Amino acid sequence: MHTFPEQAEAVIALAKFCSDKGWLPATSGNLSVKAQAEPLRVAITRSGADKQRLVPADILLIDEDMQVMGDTAYKPSAETSVHIELYRKFNCGSIVHVHTVFNNLMSELYASEGQIEISGHELLKALGHWDEHARIAIPIVPNHADLDELGRAVADAAQAEVPAVLVRAHGIYAWGDTPDAARRHLEAVEFLCEYLYRLRLIGGMSDVRK
């Protein structure tokens, strides 16, 4: 993916996958692919686009100050600040941000703990944890109205060993070295959010697994 058109196509393919799952309701969410590391350039969805019907013109090239490069009337998502902070911290290759019912539920139910602890589930492998006794914690941050503040909060909470952060009653940011890796991490956390919600519904995580 060395050219911007190729990177834009990668963003559109990610958005198509997430949109088909119903993870980008009401034009919400934003997705990006790193176009260049030094200086940082990012291919990212524009603000307000319906993610089911993206065309190349809906993908903007921005610099590390969130300035749009090239000739377009579109604006990048206000949440681009979160993407920039995560690229700076991890130098990852792609970031996805979606809203789902189950990640919203988990972010709300565990808001006071500030994280969701998970152990003993096979899909931890998809997040890079192969040790049988692995225990991970997915951070949850408040949904700051100030988006620069949100960007810093997500980046501060983000840990290299767990490629996802939940924002309370809002959604998830997940990332990876490639668009496929970002998507794999997202899929794994979404599965776990639904699983853990339904497990707690029938008897509580504390009873069954912790």
Q: Does 180 engage in binding with a second copy (CB under 8 A)?
A: yes
Which residues contact residue 39 at a Cβ distance below 8 angstroms, ignoring those fewer than 6 apart? Answer: 63, 64
Closest by Cα among 149, 89, 88, 139 to 115: 139
Q: Does 167 engage in binding with a second copy (CB under 8 A)?
A: yes
Q: Which whole-number Å values give the CA distances from 208 to 43, 86, 116, in the listed order?
A: 43, 34, 15
Residue from 3, 65, 203, 206 binding a second copy (CB under 8 A): 203
Q: Are 29 and 100 in contact (CB under 8 A)?
A: no
Tokens of residue 86, six digits? 């995560």
Residue from 36, 47, 143, 159 binding a second copy (CB under 8 A): 143
Q: CA 5, 173, 156, 92 torsion: positive or negative?
A: negative
Residue from 68, 123, 137, 147 binding a second copy (CB under 8 A): 123
Q: Does 145 engage in binding with a second copy (CB under 8 A)?
A: yes
Amino acid at 124: L
Q: Binding to a second copy (CB under 8 A): which residues in 31-70?
A: 50
Candidates 34-42, 54-62, 155-163, 202-210 — which segment interacts with a second copy by CB under 8 A? 202-210
- Is 99 annotated in a binding site? The answer is yes
Q: How far apart are CA 17 and CA 40, in angstroms?
A: 26
Residue from 9, 108, 117, 148 binding a second copy (CB under 8 A): 108
Element housing 86 (H / E): helix 80-90
Residue from 25, 37, 64, 161 binding a second copy (CB under 8 A): 25
- Is 83 annotated in a binding site? The answer is no
Q: Are 88 and 82 in contact (CB under 8 A)?
A: no
Q: Does 169 engage in binding with a second copy (CB under 8 A)?
A: yes
Binding site for a second copy (CB under 8 A): 21-22, 25-28, 50, 99, 101, 104-105, 108-109, 120-123, 126, 131-132, 143, 145, 167, 169-171, 180, 184-185, 187-188, 190-191, 194-195, 197-203, 208-209
List the binding residues for Zn(2+).
97, 99
